[in-house]
Structure 1
């Protein structure tokens, strides 16, 4: 099981944590929502939880709860800039379908 980050994503997370002045990494998970059923959730983390599964890439920790891991195993987290927009992109090999608005997915 693995979650990976591109160098661009790791740089962005490292910069943001530095600006915040605290934090141990990011938590990646899924929640039930949207027209396709699941949506990604990503948040900065200040403390590890005992149930967290921890992955580390390019010096950045990615924490995942065990329930979400089944849906996002193998996902690569990227940070992209497209024109004036920027944000995280989830390259998840388990995705079978994505809703038209791009807010949710199905495995």
Structure 2
């Protein structure tokens, strides 16, 4: 299961609306950084038949089965802290991360 907070869903929904197309957003992982894995976000225009789909607050989240192993239980939020804003990932599978927060291990 992948969860979006209401803030994350609203932010993604606004981007999809301004973009004028897209079925939702895809969350995945790729090999990167010093800890091993990094999150990947992209708009979904073409749905893959193997994708697992979750929907929260009217926004669809697509995840490929290989990434779901690392992301199951993930909560994605959109936060603003002073001048900084962005997505925050609360992943119960994460065992550690690099010092800069760029990548994580499971």
Match of 2:97 in 1: 98
Q: CA RMSD in A?
A: 0.6
Question: Structure 1: which 5+ runs fail to align?
Answer: none
Match of 1:6 in 2: 5
Question: Structure 2: which 5+ runs fail to align?
Answer: none
TM-score by length of 2: 0.98
Match of 2:59 in 1: 60
How many residues align? The count is: 106
**Matches of 1:84 and 1:43, distance apart in 2:** 24
Q: CA deviation at 1:37?
A: 0.3
Matches for 1:1-107 after TM superposition, within 5 Å: 2-107=1-106
Q: CA deviation at 1:6?
A: 0.1
**Matches of 2:46 and 2:12, distance apart in 1:** 16
TM-score by length of 1: 0.97
